Structure 1
Amino acid sequence: MANIAQLPPELFFRDIQHLCRLSLLSRQWYAALVPRIYAEWTYNGARQSFMSLWNFLRTILSNTHLASLVHSLHIGNWVHYPPYSDEWEELDFLQNEISLLESNIIEDIRKRDRRPLMALLLTCLPNITRIYTHVPQPDPVLHAILRQILNCQSGDSPSAHLSKLSELSVFPEVNIRNPPDYNNRPLLFLSDLWPALKLRSLQTLSLYGLHVGNATYRLGAGPGISRLKYLTIDSFYYKLHYRDLKALLNLLEALTSFSLHVRDNGSCAATDEMISNVDLWKVLQKHKNCLEYLDIYRDTGNRRFSMRYGHFGILRSFTCLKKLFIQAEFLLGYTWDPSDDTCRLQDRLPCNIQSLTLYNTKGFFHTSCMGKHLQEALDKGFYVDSSISEVWSQNGISLSMEQGNYPEFLKKTYGMRLDGQRRSAMYNLLPNEYRGCHEVLLPFDDSMDAYEIDISDEYIDRRAGYLKLRTLDFRAHDGSKACMVFQNIKHSWLPPLFSFPIYFTHAQTSPGKIDYETLYHTLCDNYKNYDVRLDLYFVPGIGEEDCITHYREEGRILHIPTRVHDYSDTCSYRGLLFICTEPEWNGDQGTLWSVQFDPVPHAKDGTKSSDEEEKTPLRCVQRHPVNDSSRSYEGYGGESPIDRWISDIASKYKEELRGAWIKATRRGWESWS
């Protein structure tokens, strides 16, 4: 047998249960797979119990080899939500023995407080290099542990705890006691986390939803400086002040990459101390000789860029800066005068820049002579607009224009944030059932309640303008061409669960003659059938009976996921397909043929009706208008339009299938197989 360690890594990109089963095959498989199984550990307190965390901690404490295999943590939703005393807040772990901490942990096992267990776990994993975490606010236990580690690393015998941690991404955990509001995001406070900034090994830090208040006081409370190289701050929901950001950046020894996303609330008064662009430039001066990547985005809502924020200073002294993401008004100011030669883009860009991205968003605008600025910059060795992007490309420099937007959650951890919101909704909407419980956990079948299904329906209807048409080509069982046509949000390629087959049977038909977008919108727009997909089959020259045979064989041989096996809820037949006899589809076609087959053998009351069976033909073929706009549409007295029929059938399964599709889309699924 070949060396398992040399097998392609793609072979092991499976779920953890699959790897665990493989590890039982032999000692060789066990030795090869255990490091992969334990390489990353995930704990989601909204779905996993207190005992799940306790059992893993006990395993780690009793087996140092397994503890050494864990390199990455993805943790969150471990907040302690039942009523509890403030004894943790009153403890000063820096002045007490570890035995006191241990005794309190034993005491709090009965309370199912997961905070001390999670804090202890962080000290028991010697090779941790990366952590994605949703931190409860507050968590004094975590703060005490981090501060103790910080004090130990500055002594003669540096602590080994978190000594290899190089990457940390921190999000604020959703407070379970807050009423459910998907637009109200929690804030992340530095009060508990500031010791992490000074960990010697930490290179990359991302702070989302950060509240930087009192940073001057917090960051000066402990020894040491920060060796961070890559810092990302999202402060969209808190006014960022100059003194706080200055205290944070002054703590850093030499910053290589800095990303900042802030929002100028329209309700802010002129007296508010919101940091200006001039001050942003000032706080970066300490790092001008080492900064290589700079990304600053300022969202102004629907307001024009305020003059009181000014514009950035000259960046030519940032000699190492190669990549710049920024709004043009940051560099040139809001009231730029074309006749003013003292304010030119070429004088403000870094001298060694290799990539420039200009954000375009609400409240900002491109100055009237931006093209002139870019052309002048090109003549100086910089680069320019998309109209001469080829010239820049030849010089090894790139320019792009992007729509500014909120910083997106890391795809890896977005599902954990959603689970925190779901748990909060369940806790607040069903208080009598959950407020007395020691733990509030989402159900394993993910059918939490009708609340989330309703939210999902409203969500996708509201986002209909952002849906993107998708086409997935595949081969039918006989080798003929076929295609799935559907819509989904953002970058997802996950098809909906409910499908309708359409056969194109003209002798001259081909996929290239079908306008997929027109066909889809014709059948789906009027009734918002965004949760269905169309399965198109191209089989020239066959009739209705052959289409039925082909459809049956397709299901028998290929076993296509999410294939519908019964359409009988609105008619007397289980089978249904549509046929287009035209050679093409370009929007002028007004009808489709429906073929119903496999009649239902029982009457509505569940008893067999021989009379009805005799009257029901083996198949029913009818011609229908595609929608209400078709010339052949005769109103409610005529044949039902195809789009209305599709909506009626799919609506029977909406509650069951639509919510599951949206949940899977949000969690990043790309297929159902």
Structure 2
Amino acid sequence: MPSLADLPPEIFNIVLSYALDDDEDLQRLCGLSLLGRQWYSALVQRIYSEWVYNGAKQPFMTLWKFLITVLRDTTLAAQIRTLKVGNWGFFPEAATPGPDLQLPPDELDLVRGAIRDAGLGHLEGSILQALPKRDRRPLMALLLTSLPNLRTVFAHVPRNDPVLGAVLEKLVSNKTNETRLSPFLRELRELHLCQETPVHPPWVESDAESDAEEDSDDDKYSENRDSLRLDYLWPLLRHEPLRTVSLVDLDTKQAANWLTGSSVSHVEHLYLATIWKSLSTYPDIQALLAQPQALKSIALSLHDNPFDRRRNAIISNTELWDCLQKHQHTLESIDICRSKNTHRDQNGRFGLLRNFSNLKDLRIQPEVLLGGCCGEPRASFRLKDTLPQTLTTLTLYGEEGFSVISDLPAQLRELVKGPGFPLLSSIVLDDSLALFTDDGLRLRTPYRDLGQECTNRDIEFRVDEATNALGNVGGYRRLWGKTLDMQKDGEDRDLVASDDRMRLRDPQELILQPDHDRGDAKYRDPDELLPVGPRWRSADMNRIPFADHTGKTAYMVFESWKSIPLPPLFSFSVYFTHVNATPENTDMEALHRDLSPRELDLRFDMYFLPGATIDDCIAHYNGEKAARGSYKEQIRVFKTCPHDEIHPLPGTTGQIPGMVLKPYTPGPWRNLLFLLQDQNWRDAGLLQVRFDRKKLRGDGVDDEHQPAPPPPPPPPISVTRGQVRQDNLGYVCNSPGVSMSVGDTILEISPAERELYLNVWYKAMRRGWTTW
């Protein structure tokens, strides 16, 4: 019987696709290619059409050998159309020191030639010094210059990559006129980028907390390790062959500076998802949207932060409308979603969309089209007046517009019933409580009538969770597929390198174990080999007395495993100041149960100061903090202890755990305590005292942009009363428009560092620790 490989290539590929059933595992394809020369010839294009490299799981030598292979065989290099790569950053401070690599001289000669061919001769010395240290950044840059037919790249890029930056500058500098293209990446059509998670040393001084004055949240965020920056990547937006670009978790800061000049790009499909707290100003967004000559589709996910003192500097809907005008005759799809219910004080709205003569798909919030939020006036026109007749699908995101535009169902019925939208085939409304009756079970009558009208006219109508193309993990997954897993691997690598280094297969290169090795005892953390007792959450709690910094008796109240009374590390301070404030008159365990969300493991430090004022409690809190320090000191000690060391050590009584010096507190205050002025907290609630105002750079002024109208300065101390639980009747809102009980406050603050403190606490209990 003739071999399948003897079939014409077109037929053979069809048969092979059915046989593999979409499971084109590389090892499986390589095994089939060994059946004979004909099989190899038929399969080599499939084998090399896509190459995947994940630096969190694959070593330096994997990337090195592949680069050497394509440098030696240009035929193979020409087969590669897609790269899916990530986590190739260099983090020597976090790595275990080791000997340098001894690379073969003949292979080094090939790399020298590639360096010169890429026009990087001025970097040759530094690159050759970096390679023995296992710095993979030069290899990835050289690989990109060595694949002549590369069309698609998915990349989780390092924050800093000087060699790749030099390569990308060539994309701009080599283009001396409109007819000359860069000698590399000339076939690149699709580019999808996000930031890789860097690896931090096991313990760095920046991890330690300090009570010193600090920059604002926005300043700290400017170096957010998860944000994608354009610092060295900006030339890609001007690369002439590119047609599709997506940038995930983008910090748009300085985009206007990087993208100055008259150069344009030919990008037709642009997807931008900004990271939370990115100050997406009008100049920066305008620069990003002005680069393409003629966009066909735009997806933009913006995060407005109402707690940012510069919130009014973020681009408004009116300014965003201005940015889109350049593309009104070419845009076929618009997908724009801002943070729901949280935005700048005056946001504005779009103008008439009917001049967008090719618009077919629109996904947007109704208030962006019609206004009405934050007390602003509604537009004088209606949906039927603004939407173009070319529209085929309409998706409206929640939440606010469904509430402030009360006649929205009527306006949608006008679209469906009128003759002006002959191509309309689908209306999707975001799943919002505003669409349903009070019991949440049925659509409100106007929306049921709308659904019936759509059915009568053969238009699809549904209420479903609507997500922006890049606005959440689901949107990323649709675009990135399994490549998105590299981001999780990068996060795991950072966590393991700092907290559990025995799970590193190679601590010098910071390589995670392969999944199939995770059960191997030689790689397992000794903490996991210790017996784990049954964990319970019940009425049995621990109440451990201790002496505060003034010598008075206070109590640590918490839940833990039976017979292992080890206090959790994350804590809140509670002060009892009513006249009967004594431990004997207080059910501390009941208060813990009322305050602590069930999904968290927390400690409450309870102090009894009858008759004390708010200022007295703040002074006591600061004195306690100065005496006890940070709970991260206990984490530091635990990580440096031998695995067989159990606390308390013989002859010691252990240590009172430190405090949370800088909890994550939204708003302008750094610290928080709870105060009970009434013995019956279930009726009277607790005072939530926020104090120590964060350092601000200025009155609402951003260094690089025009000043926003400054909000009134916050008071040095904020005192609000909140009920224990939100379901308690009569609780007082924590801030205008926000329902915040004490339990909600705790739930908002605690998870920010959950992994940091929880893993150490669990492991210490597994070892049998009963004190810190």
Shared topology, TM-score over 0.5? yes
Using the alignment, how far apart are the partners of 1:451 and 1:311 within structure 2? 59
1:112 equivalenced with 2:134 (yes/no): yes
Measure how far apart 1:427 and its partner are. 1.0
Q: Superposition pairs for residues 284-363 of structure 1, below 5 Å?
A: 284-300=324-340, 303=341, 307-335=345-373, 342-361=380-399
In structure 1, the residue matched to 2:237 is 197
The answer as to 2:190 corresponding to 1:167 is yes
> Between the two proteins, what is the percent identity of the paired residues?
36
| CA–CA separation in structure 2 for the residues paired with 1:5 and 1:335 | 56
CA distance in 2, matches of 1:437, 1:341: 61
Q: Give 2:256's match in structure 1, choosing from 189, 199, 216.
A: 216
1:304–1:363 Cα contact (<8 Å) kept:
no
Checking the alignment, whether the CA contact within 8 Å between 1:105 and 1:117 is kept in structure 2 is: no
Partner deviation per Cα, 1:108-155 (whole Å, 9 max, x = no partner): 111111111100000000111111000000222211101113322335
Show the counterpart of 1:74. Answer: 84
Q: Give the Cα separation in 2 of the matches to 1:290 and 1:252.
A: 11
Equivalent of residue 301 in structure 2, options 252, 261, 266: 261
* Structure 1 position 348, deviation (Å): 1.8
1:130 aligns with 2:200: no
CA distance in 2, matches of 1:366, 1:450: 55
Measured in 1, the distance between the counterparts of 2:271 and 2:134 equals 34
Q: Which amino acid aligns with 1:224?
A: S
The answer to whether the 8 Å contact 2:363/2:394 transfers is yes
* Cα distance in 2, alignment partners of residues 331 and 358 from structure 1: 10
Following TM superposition, by how much is the alpha carbon of 1:335 offset from its aligned partner in structure 2, in angstroms?
A: 4.8
Q: 1:257 to 1:338 in 2, by over 3 A?
A: closer
Displacement, 1:372? 1.2
Contact 1:53–1:117 (8 Å) recurs in 2:
yes
Q: 1:360 touches 1:401 (CA, 8 Å); kept in 2?
A: no
When the two chains are superposed, the root-mean-square deviation of aligned CA atoms in Å is 3.5
Query: Which amino acid in 2 is paired with 1:368?
Result: S
Structure 1 residue ranges without an equivalent (≥5) = 85-92, 455-527, 529-673
Aligned pair partner of 1:10 in 12, 18, 22: 18
**Contact 1:297–1:404 (CA under 8 A) maintained in structure 2:** no
Residue 417 of structure 1, CA deviation: 0.8
Whole-Å Cα distance in 2 between the matches of residues 185 and 362 of structure 1? 31
Q: Determine whether 1:416 maps to 2:486.
A: yes
- Is 1:403 the counterpart of 2:487? The answer is no
Q: CA deviation at 1:365?
A: 3.2
Q: Given the alignment, which residue of 428, 435, 443 partners 2:498?
A: 428
- Given candidates 270, 276, 280, the residue that maps to 1:240 is 280
* 1:570-620 Cα distance to aligned partner (Å, 9 max, x none): xxxxxxxxxxxxxxxxxxxxxxxxxxxxxxxxxxxxxxxxxxxxxxxxxxx
CA shift, 1:449, in A, is 5.7
Residues 235, 26 of structure 1: alpha-carbon distance in 2 compared, 3 angstrom cutoff: same
CA 1:436–1:417 in 2, change beyond 3 Å: closer, same or farther? closer
SS of 1:297's equivalent in the other structure is: strand
Instruction: Tell me how far 1:192 sits from its aligned partner.
Output: 1.1
Separation in 2, partners of 1:452, 1:208: 37
On the 8 A contact 1:135/1:173 being kept in 2, the answer is yes
CA displacement at 1:344 relative to structure 2: 1.4
Structure-to-structure mapping, 1:508-527, within 5 angstroms:
none
Segments of 5+ residues of structure 2 without an aligned counterpart are: 95-114, 208-220, 428-446, 530-598, 600-772
Q: Say which SS state the counterpart of residue 131 (structure 1) adopts.
A: strand
| Aligned mates of 2:379, 2:236 — CA distance in 1 | 46
| 8 Å contact kept, 1:386–1:400 | no
Tell whether 2:165 aligns with 1:143: yes
Cα–Cα, structure 1 residues 336 and 175, in superposed 2: closer, same or farther, change >3 Å? Answer: closer
SS state of the match for residue 175, structure 1? coil
Aligned AA for 2:33? S
Change in CA separation of 1:452 and 1:122 when aligned onto 2, cut-off 3 Å = farther
* Conserved? CA contact 1:77–1:135, under 8 Å: yes
**Which whole-Å CA distance do the structure 2 matches of 1:8 and 1:433 have between them?**
39
Give the C-alpha shift of residue 431 in structure 1: 6.3
- Would the aligned equivalents of 2:504 and 2:511 in 1 still touch at CA under 8 Å? no
CA distance, structure 2, for counterparts of residue 329 and residue 19 of structure 1: 52
Q: Is 1:52–2:92 an aligned residue pair?
A: no
Q: Tell me, yes or no, if the aligned pair for 2:157 and 2:196 is still in contact at 8 Å.
A: yes
2:318 & 2:528 partners in 1: Cα distance?
Answer: 47
The residue aligned with 1:226 is 265
Q: d(CA) in 2 for partners of 1:453 and 1:263?
A: 40
The residue correspondences of 1:273-672 to structure 2 (distance < 5 A) are: 273-300=313-340, 303=341, 307-335=345-373, 342-361=380-399, 365=403, 367-378=405-416, 379-382=418-421, 387-389=449-451, 392=454, 398=460, 400-405=462-467, 406-408=471-473, 409-410=476-477, 411-430=481-500, 437-444=507-514, 445=516, 447=518
Any idea what the Cα deviations from partners look like across 1:70-125, whole Å, max 9, x if unmatched? 100000000000049xxxxxxxx99x963333333222111111111100000000
The verdict on how the C-alpha distance between 1:366 and 1:420 changes in structure 2, with shifts beyond 3 A counting, is same
Change (3 A) 1:113 1:346: same
Corresponding residue for 1:488? Answer: none
Report how many aligned residue pairs link the two structures: 442
The answer on 1:63 being equivalent to 2:73 is yes
Distance in 1, Cα, partners of 2:360 & 2:45: 38
Distance in 1 (alpha carbons) for counterparts of 2:488 and 2:33: 32
Please name the residue that 2:648 is paired with.
none
TM-score in terms of structure 2 length: 0.53
CA apart distance, 1:21: 0.7
Query: TM-score by structure 1 length?
Result: 0.60
Deviation at 1:57, TM superposition (A): 0.2
1:433–1:32 Cα change, 3 Å: closer
Q: 1:294 to 1:118 in 2, by over 3 A?
A: same
The residue that corresponds to 1:176 in the other structure is 199
Deviation at 1:225, TM superposition (A): 1.2
Secondary structure at the counterpart of residue 352 of structure 1 = coil
Compared CA separation, residues 203 and 179, structure 1 to 2 (3 A): farther
1:482 maps to what in 2?
none
